[in-house]
Amino acid sequence: MFDIQTQLFEGQDIRFGPIDHEKDAEIESKWTHDSDFMRMMEVAPARPLSAALVKKQYEKLEKQMDEDKNLFYFTIRAREDDHLVGRAAVQWIEWANGNGFLRIGIGSAEDRGKGYGTQALQMLLRFAFAELNLFRVSAIVPEYNTAAIALLKKFGFVQEVCRRKSLERDGHRWDLYVFGLLKDEWLYQAEA
């Protein structure tokens, strides 16, 4: 049973938090130098960013959250020592239709394979459905991101669209999948 006492921002091993403009930029800058990570996360060409540029991005994000009110952006931190693990967001929200797009990224290789992604998705879904009252959420994933596809399917997302050969990388054109999950399909998963 979910009621307002259930913590939205606390998971089993991770927590959601706001951006720490001073500390987070250096760490995220390192992640942007990992081309494998960037190519999983972004459709745009992977390019390393300085901490200064990451800070500028943070400012843009906060401005958008403030002005456009169609974005909720969280940092993901490990509960154990509060170190920055990744980021999670509900974006491109269309309030009239009740839609939003989800994005999750676990930044450094050492933090992957620990179930953080699963926990983050669980928390993000609860936030989207039980707090933002969205009717459906979507996610866009390139066909080569098998880990993300598996995670989405685990939560009951349905692959709805195959945008054929929409992404070019390494001399090959890849499909982009759009996944969707309706509120009614959202499985209430008990805290493990």
Partner 1 sequence: MKDIFRGELVRITNEEPDVVAKASVRWQLDSEYGRLLDSESIHLFSEKAIKNWIEKNSESIKPERYQFSVRTLAEDKLIGFFGLYVELIHSEAWVGIGIGERDFWSKGYGTDMMNVCLRYAFLELGVQRVSLGLHEYNPRALRSYEKAGFKLEGRTRKDVLREGKRTDTFWMGILRDEWMAQNGAAL
Partner 2 sequence: MNEILKGKFVRLSAYDPKEMSNAFSRWNRNSEYIRLLNSSMGPLQSPKRAEKWMDEEVGEMSPASYYFTIRTLEDDKLIGELGLDVVDWSGRDAFVGLGIGETEYWSKGYGTDIMNVLLQFAFMEVNLRRVTLTVFEYNPRAIRSYEKAGFRHEGRLRQLLNKEGKRWDMFYMGILREEWLERNTVQG
**How far from 93 is each of 38, 44, 104, CA to CA, in Å?**
24, 21, 16
Q: Which is nearer to partner 1, 78 or 182 (CB)?
A: 182
4: how many CB neighbours lie within 10 A of its CB?
Answer: 8
**How far from 34 is each of 30, 37, 38, 46, 81, CA to CA, in Å?**
7, 6, 6, 9, 23
Dist CA 67 CA 61 (whole Å): 10
Least separation in angstroms between residue 30's CB and partner 1 is: 24
80 binds, among partner 1, partner 2, none (CB under 5 to 8 A by kind): none
- Say what angle helices 51-67 and 21-31 make with each other, to 10 degrees: 120
Q: Which is nearer to partner 2, 81 or 171 (CB)?
A: 171
The contacts of residue 2 (CB under 8 Å, 6+ apart) are 126, 130, 188
Q: Which is nearer to partner 2, 5 or 45 (CB)?
A: 45
Least separation in angstroms between residue 123's CB and partner 1 is: 23
Least separation in angstroms between residue 2's CB and partner 1 is: 23
Residues of this chain that bind partner 1 (CB under 8 A): 43-45, 94, 96-99, 135-136, 138, 158-168, 173, 178, 180, 182
114 binds, among partner 1, partner 2, none (CB under 5 to 8 A by kind): none
Residues of this chain that bind partner 2 (CB under 8 A): 29, 32-33, 35-36, 39, 44-53, 56, 144, 168-172
Least separation in angstroms between residue 11's CB and partner 1 is: 28
Residue pair 111/53 in contact by the 8 Å Cβ criterion = no
